[in-house]
Structures are given as structure tokens and as C-alpha cells.
Structure 1
């Protein structure tokens, strides 16, 4: 049975021999890359293209790639099936609106999978399929990840050494051609960059750990014989082992440094064309005067994601990667702080970005201590009601929101038109000073809103001490279901692809001293 794939979808492979083909209105070449579990090339000899048409189990055959899965190198974990624009046509706009699609067939020619690949318009190389091995069995995943820097960038990210000058030149030519994102594609691009950074980090970590393990083994062997331990031969063996370790680590770090430089360059360019909800405060899309931003940026108003901050790893270099989440927030964000006043910077930054994601949501705020006055004064026009200053008013507001969620969900499931359903229920709920002053019923209402609200456009931000170990079961359950951010400092994060360690530093904003950012909401 033919499977119609979407990005990220996977399926088992029953056939032992498969063939990859693609079609597009833009002339292209096909190639393949055999990789390890971290999607790093086993060696330069495992890149299959027109100048190197075969490796173990993988062969270029005209305009297709044939893979004999039983013959693929036993150390291989995946085979990436790639298309790239013919260099002579690179100026024609890459795969822009070119109807790129890929097909996978078995040895009899029967179609196993079809994949209509969505493109952003700037890609000159795309990973179509990933054939990968899990527990001794082969599976296939539709990928659709594109690279503006072309084939040189793609294979460089995956560990193949390329000629620095041509690769850099090609990447530069393409990166300057990046255009504003289509609605709904910014978050995907940010997560592609995060994935590239994570896989590069995992390769560095893996190589370094392997180098250390090999060094330990070789040093142990060099000192095992007491009679030669301190002889010239023994000393030479230890020095040689140390040199091999240092060379391997240096090579791995140089590769990671190159990857990081490419990603930094890409991020510098895309920051200027990201929707405001995901762009840095320094991006021209946050310019307070309409005329100060490039004309092409003025239409970038809606976003499918919102930025929380940046990811760093000091031990791996200076690369910082924006950390973005879908909007509306699929899980509440819990800003950890002993007082709401100390969390104003983080809450203000997140609130403004959610407001900028569009369409403008209504804002409900519980602020028992008056900590967020500078923020709510700036956003008074979008308040759904008076800011709650007294704990006795919390229950009524939460009950009203829960009813709104019920009605909106009923309208959505019954197929009502937008006019029949009434005004948009898109909202942001900020709950300060939690859980002090909140009743048990309030907590249950918040849990209901956290579960059902995102389906109709409700995002929730809580502020308070971390209650993950609270003796109150409902409070602890709510805390454990949230995504946590520190009001100050940083928090550990693991990427979902390789488990590499990152540090998340939340974005902050001072409503009193950065009014131009709020003005930007009205200027675009």
C-alpha cells in the first residue's frame, strides 16, 4: 500500500531493495549520504554523487538512488536521500514553487511511499527521505529539510569535508537570498536550525568521548608491562596515544566550529525576516517607525511560534540558538520566582511576543501585588477586563474563561461560521503570585484551561515558586505539566533529537524603558 508522507512521518520498510526518485520543475541532481546514529557521515567515501557513484549498498543509477539495505555498511544507522539544484540553475530561484516531490519504490517498481515536499522558496538542497535502522529493522521517514546554502552546506552540516572556499561562497550566495517567511513556516525553520545545531553538538560530544575512551585503552596497554613502562618505547607509545586523541578532538571541534559559524550566519540573516514573535529585539521588524524597516518586512505580521529566549552551551562555543514554541502555547509556561516583581522582565517579553504573533489576543491578568502594572498599563487597550487585584475575584474570572472555552469549542466542533460563533476567543491569561490566594477550585479551573484552552487559542503564563513537589496534589500536577522558565538566570534543556545539553536563557523586557517595542505593535 502506498503511503502519502508528511514531514516527520515514518513507516516500516518491508522491502530489502528500494529506489529513490524525485521530480521538480527545477533541474536537480540526486545524491545520498550514509551516516551514523547522529546523522554524521561515516566517511567522505559514503557520500554518493556523480563523482563517487557508489558505496556499500548505495548506488547512483542515472536520476535515481538504489539502496540495497542488507548491503549497507553494518556501522551505518541511516541513509539520507538528497536532491540539490544544478549549480547552473541556482540563480533560477532554487525549489521555489517548483512542486518538489519524492517517491520510494521497491525492486518490482511498486510505490512504497510518496512525499509532496513543502518548500520555503530558498532551498537549493533538500533531504527528502531518511532510511534508518532501528533494532535491526529498517524504517523510512519523510524529512523535507532544506538548506539555503545548497549541497555544500548540507553535507558539511552532516560531517563531510568540503573545500572551504567554494562551500563558503555558495553558502554566502544563497544566504543573502533569504526572503520573508510564509505564514506558518517560521517555527519550522527555527526548529530546523536548532536540530542542525544539536546534531553538530552531538557529533562533537560523541567524537570527544570516543577519543577519550580510545586514549584510556591505549594508555592502559602502554603501561601494562612494567618492564617497558618507563622505557623510550613506552614513553613514545603514550605520546602517540595522546597525539591521536588530540588530533581527533581538534578535528571534531574544527568541524563543530565550522557548523556553528554557518548557523550563526544563517541566523543573522533570518532574524531580519522572522515574524516579530520570534525575532530578536534588535531585528528591524521591531522598528518602532514604519519607515525604518525594509519594505519587504512590513507584511511579516503573523507567526506560528513565539520565542522564549536563547539556547547556549559555553563549553561548545559562542553559538546562540533562538528557542521557540508553537503559539498558542500547548503547555502553560511557569515563570519561577519568589515574587512577581522579580519576574516582570521575563513575563513582559513573553507577553509582548504573544501579542505580536497575531491576531491580537485579549489579555486576562491576575496581579495581586501590583507587580505587572507597568506592563498592563502599556496593554490596557487589549485587557479583557479589569486587572484582578483581590483574590476573591479570581474564581469568577476563571469560571468565565472556562465557559468561554466550552462555548468556543462547541462552536468549533459544530461547524458554526465565524459570525455565528461570535468574537474570537484568542486570549492570554497571566496568573501572578501563584498559588497564594488561589482556591483549590481555582487550581482545577486552571488545569481545565491548560488542557482545553490551546485548542481555541488560549495561552497561559503562571508566576510563582516552583511547586512541582507541593504537598497539594493538584498544584503539583499543574506545576509538573508546565514548561518552566527562571525569572533570572538560566535553566537546563535537552534537545529532542540527540539529548544534547543546552542552557536556556529567557528573553527579558523592561516595559518602562523599552516603549518603542510596544509602539511597534501599532506601527505594522
Structure 2
């Protein structure tokens, strides 16, 4: 039975290998300090944080998140460690809350490795504090206990670290905040909650996440091809009432299965064999329509793969650490370092390591097999917006009457099972723009490419992303502009220009760049003022209120300082009113601008034209290999889809 602690209360710990779970109503930093018997932390090397997440016997999350799982092996801690303090802090800067009193009280729980909760502690009573010591694990007379602390600090992370006895605490706090800022730029964002109370159910555990970002609207907003255009900040709405609950597996009985988007329908439930997991079913997640259930199911698979891989890696690290400790103990006596006794000790330690690793791999393979079977069922059932370009749904493509919840930007995989790929789905409307990196990232896939080939592939990838955005929106509700200052991307842009789906021919030269940026900047300014003043009805009659995508090739070539300023403005303010960037650029080419463009790069979601392991998940921070979209060899599906989009436009009247 779970013990619910109050501040100051302690409780014995029945296990030495534990997991500390933290859930908060907004992304927070989680860390831990290792202290001696006097409660003093000897230096920065005894602090686990996103920039340095692993210490002997302890591992924390690599980035800020609303949900954390910290792995603790008390038996693997150094003998000098007598206290482990679990720290939480709000990220500095950004649009998030600056004090814990503005969010739901954090909840911390200590669980055994099988998920059994040992103690729980709601951190109530916080107000102006932006950092808090949540829990303390401490050693007393050879046994470990846990204490509910809840000590908050209005001075933030630096004040909390200083109180832990650290010298140069402000310096370390700045390092941690920088690591968190970097992690947020490369993380795949968790889908925001849109239910009335903002709660999300994750595998049966009630959690909360960050609030709805700019660019969303209530779930009852109406949209359709015949409705009067509204500012893009209203966002698309699927054809069913939406509950933005995080995926929860439904066991052997799937939810009702109406006809899904793209003609996909959930398979009937099958009976599981005794002792075996239930056969996977497409749409086996919370949701009121098939599109929503499939979306939630994909996110559930993404999280399951992240966590089961994290458990495997932690178990392997534990096995290696335990072998080192066994060897140290066995060979502490110099007399046992030679002869048969030393060889026997080494063999026994390695055998134990191999046994633990094999058991961990067996559990991982079992979970991966289940996820692979689920993927094989889910992938064929995906609607067009979620489907790969080789999916049969594209051959039956028709311009939709409503925009989807999300769209696919590629796939994600981990090295433990590279053939298992999870669709990378992002919510619509886009929360931020996209950046297709045409530079050399060091990935193996680009080793044999020359610079010209890599740049061409980057533009080809951008065209695929733009085509999908056009294809999933109703006719007249999305427009694409192109800036190609030197005309270098004419061949790659040919499918878009040839189909006539662009808002205007690609802009080139200094004047063309200036005209397009001026037009879109003016649109953003007008819509922002109208929305903030509650006067959207007063927008000029000729103003295009459809969503806008600006493809910029070869940045910063052809951009003067004024154009760069406008581009930064569009990146910062555009997404809130439906204007997004799709930048095709090599960051090194913009080196002449110095750090002035750093906020621009951070505001965009970096994608690559070749496989690259630069993205992180929002739960444990694995480095995922991103697989960009690809057309099947010799396929004409791209031109077919663009032709249907263009045909629908010729018949449409606003």
C-alpha cells in the first residue's frame, strides 16, 4: 500500500533499486545531488543534471519535461554518499511560468522497478518559489530512508544549489539552464493538452502538461472549405469532438471502431493466448474518432519504445557497475590478484554481468517484438496525413474538407531495433517553423555526398514537407510562398511551380526577397493587432487569412540586415497567427552574423535531408535517429497529389 507523505515525514525504503517519478503541470528541470554525512555536496561532479545526467548509482532526465523518471541504485552509490536530494526547478526565460504557485502542485513518487509505488508526496504550499528540494534519500544506521522535504527557493536554481553547499552555484545553475535550452530546441514536443481541465492520462497515470500554446483554439471551433476564412490561429479541427488524452492501452477490448480518416478501420479484437499479450489492434488508444485514436496510439508506441529502451540501457549500466564493484571487492586483497582465486573471481563477476545483461536483453526483445507487431498493424491503418509516401492511401488521395490533427514529418528509430520506426507526428497548426539543415552534420549518410548534392537533397526534402502541408489542408486554407534568391533550387521546386500550387512564382533577387517578406510581415502585424484587440471582423477584405508557409532557400544569401530582421520577426511572431517558415540553410553560412541569429535557429525545429541522430524524446532524452521522408523510387505520387490539389483550386470559389 502506498504511503502518502507530508512535509518532513520519512519512510523506510524496502528496495535499493528505485525509480523516482515526478509529474508537474509544466516542463521542469529535474536533478539530484549526492552529499556526505554532513549534508555537504563536495562539488559540481556530485550533481546530476540535464547537462551531466549520469553519476554512479543515479541517472536523471536529460532535459526539461512535465514528466520525469529518475533511476536510483542505492547499492551502487559511492560509500561516502549518505544523502541524495531530488531537485526541481523551472527553466529560466521562455514563455513558461516563473513560479511554482502558477502551476498545479508537483507530485513525486518513489516506485520499485516493477512500478509498485512505495511512497507518494504532493508538494503543496509553493508560491513564489522557482526551485524546490522535493525529496531526500538518506542513509541511517546502514538502512536507507526517504524524507519529504518540499523546501522551496524564490532565488531559483542558483540559490538552491548554494544551499546544498556548492561553491560557484550560480555558474553551475547557468550551465544547467544552457543545457536545458539546448535540449528543448532538439526535443520532439509532447502534444499539448486541449481538454477542459488540461489533464492527460498516460498509461493509467493522471498527469498534466504544459498549457495550450499560441496557435490553438477551442475544440468546438468550426472550420470547413465552405466556411468564411478565419485567422489561422483558430487552428484545424478534426471531424469529431477531441479529447486530448495521452495514449492508454485498452487491453484485449479495443474502443468502438467507426470508419477512420483515409478509409482505415480498426481491426476486431482477438483473444490473447493464456500468458501472452493481447494481439495488437489499430486504434487501441483513447479517442473519440479513429484519427485521434491512431494519433494517440502512435505517441504511446513512441513513449513505450523510449522507456523500454531506457530500462534496458539502465540495466546494462547497472550490470557493468556491479561487475566493477564485485571485482574491486574480490581483488582488494593483493594475495587474490594472482593465481586461480583471482581468475575465478573475475570469471564469476563477468558471468554475473552477462547473466544480468542477457535478462535485460530478453525483456527488451519481448517488448520490442510487441511494439513491432503493433507497428505492423498500425502503419497500414494510418490516414493520409500520418502515412508515409509509400502508403496506398496516397493513391486514393482527395483534397480533404477538414484539416487533420497532425501530420507526419518523417520517422524516428533507436539503434536497439533500427527496423522499428515510429512515425514522427507533429500537431497542427505547427507550433514553430521548420529548418531543413543543408549543412554537414557528421552523419554517416552524408559521407559520400558533395555539398551540391546535399543542398539539392535538402530542397527536395523541403518540397515533400510543403506538399504534405498543402495536401492535408482544405482547398483555400493554406498558401505556400518561396524565396529562392539566386534561383538555385529551380529543379527541385519544379513539382510545386509546375502544378501551379504556389501563391506566386518563387521570389528571386533583393527586390523579390524584400517584397515577399514585407507582404508576410504586414499580414502578421495586422492579424496580431486584430486578434489582441478582439477585432478580427475589421481585417481588410483582401487580406488572405489562410495559413501561410514561406520556404526560404539558401539563407542568408541575398538577405540584407533589414531582410534578416523581418525573417526573425516572422519566426518569432508568425506561428501564433498561422505564418510559418521552412528554412533550407546551412547554419555555418550565416556565421558572418555572429550570435544575432542564434534565436532564429533555436525557434525552428531542425530536420535533416539524410538520417541523423539529432532529435530527443520528451521523456528520457534518447538521441533518436531521424529518417526524413522519401518518395518510392520511380513513384509519380508527388505530382499526382499536387495535380489534385491544383485541380481542386481551379474549381473552388471563396
Q: Which bracket does the TM-score occupy, shorter chain normalised?
A: 0.5 to 0.7
Q: 1:357 aligns with which of 462, 465, 472?
A: 472
Shift of 1:430: 0.3
Alignment of 1:76-475 (within 5 A): 126-129=203-206, 144-149=246-251, 165-166=273-274, 168-172=276-280, 174-175=281-282, 181=289, 188-288=296-396, 302-315=403-416, 317-337=418-438, 338-339=451-452, 340-359=455-474, 360-367=477-484, 368-369=487-488, 370-381=490-501, 383-416=502-535, 422=541, 423-467=544-588, 470-473=591-594, 474-475=596-597
Contact 1:149 1:170 (C-alpha < 8 Å) held by counterparts? yes
SS in 1 for 2:549: strand
1:200-257 C-alpha deviation (Å, 9 max, x unpaired): 1111111111110111111222233232334444333322211211121112122222
> How far 1:508 sits from its partner (Å)?
2.9
Question: Which residue of structure 1 lines up, in the alignment, with residue 614 of structure 2?
Answer: 492
**DSSP-derived class of the 1:9 partner:** strand
Change (3 A) 1:373 1:349: closer
- Give me the whole-angstrom Cα distance separating, in 2, the residues matched to 1:74 and 1:518: 65
Indicate if the aligned counterparts of 2:413 and 2:419 stay in contact, CA closer than 8 A: yes
What is the CA deviation profile of residues 120-139 of structure 1, one whole-angstrom value per residue up to 9, with x for unaligned ones? xxxxx9413269xxxxxxxx
Task: Give the drift of 1:311.
Answer: 1.7
Distance between the aligned counterparts of 2:601 and 2:612, measured in 1? 18
CA shift in 2, pair 1:289/1:481, >3 Å: closer
Aligned mates of 1:117, 1:192 — CA distance in 2: 16
Q: Match of 1:411, SS?
A: helix
Query: Deviations 1:291-343 (Å, cap 9, x if unpaired)?
Result: xxxxxxx9896323232222222245532222233333333222222554232
Note the C-alpha offset of 1:181. Answer: 4.8
Residue in 2 that maps onto 1:135: none
* Residue 247 to residue 419, structure 1, CA distance change in 2 (3 Å): farther
Distance in 1 separating the partners of 2:110 and 2:626: 25
Query: Helix, strand or coil: the match of 1:388?
Result: coil
Q: Is the 8 A contact 2:111 2:118 kept in 1?
A: no
The alignment's TM-score, normalised by the length of structure 1, stands at: 0.66
Q: Do the aligned residues in 1 keep the contact of 2:110 with 2:119 (CA within 8 Å)? A: no
CA-CA distance at 1:40 after TM superposition: 11
2:605 maps to 483
**Structure 2 residue runs without a partner (length 5+):** 1-22, 29-67, 72-108, 121-134, 138-142, 149-195, 209-243, 254-271, 439-450, 649-654
| Cα distance in 1 between the residues matched to 2:282 and 2:249 | 9
Q: 1:204 to 1:457 in 2, by over 3 A?
A: same
Distance 1:504 1:373, change over 3 A: closer
Match in the other structure for 1:504 = 626
**SS of 1:502 mapped into structure 2:** strand
State whether residues 335 and 487 of structure 1, in contact with CA within 8 Å, keep that contact through their aligned partners in structure 2.
yes
Name the CA distance, whole Å, in 2 between partners of 1:493 and 1:341.
Answer: 22
The answer (yes or no) to whether the contact 2:305–2:371 under 8 Å persists in 1 is yes
Measure how far apart 1:440 and its partner are: 1.2
- Give the secondary-structure state (helix, strand or coil) at the position aligned to 2:248: strand
Q: Which segments of 5 or more consecutive residues in structure 1 lack a partner in the other structure?
A: 1-6, 13-34, 48-54, 59-68, 79-113, 120-124, 132-141, 152-163, 291-297
1:426 Cα shift?
0.5
- Per-residue CA deviations over 1:59-117 (Å, capped at 9, x if unaligned) read xxxxxxxxxx999x978999xxxxxxxxxxxxxxxxxxxxxxxxxxxxxxxxxxx9786
Count residues with an aligned counterpart.
Answer: 406
Tell me what 2:232 maps to.
none
TM-superposed deviation, 1:491: 3.8
Q: Which moved more, 1:423-432 or 1:371-380?
A: 371-380
The CA deviation at 1:118 is: 6.8
Whole-Å separation in 1 of the counterparts to 2:26 and 2:111: 21
Partners of 1:487 and 1:144 in 2: CA distance: 30
Contact 1:332 1:461 in 2 (8 A): yes
Per-residue deviation, residues 341-395 of structure 1 (Å, max 9, x unmatched): 23233112211222233244111011222243323235413x2122113332111
2:24/2:207 contact within 8 Å kept: no
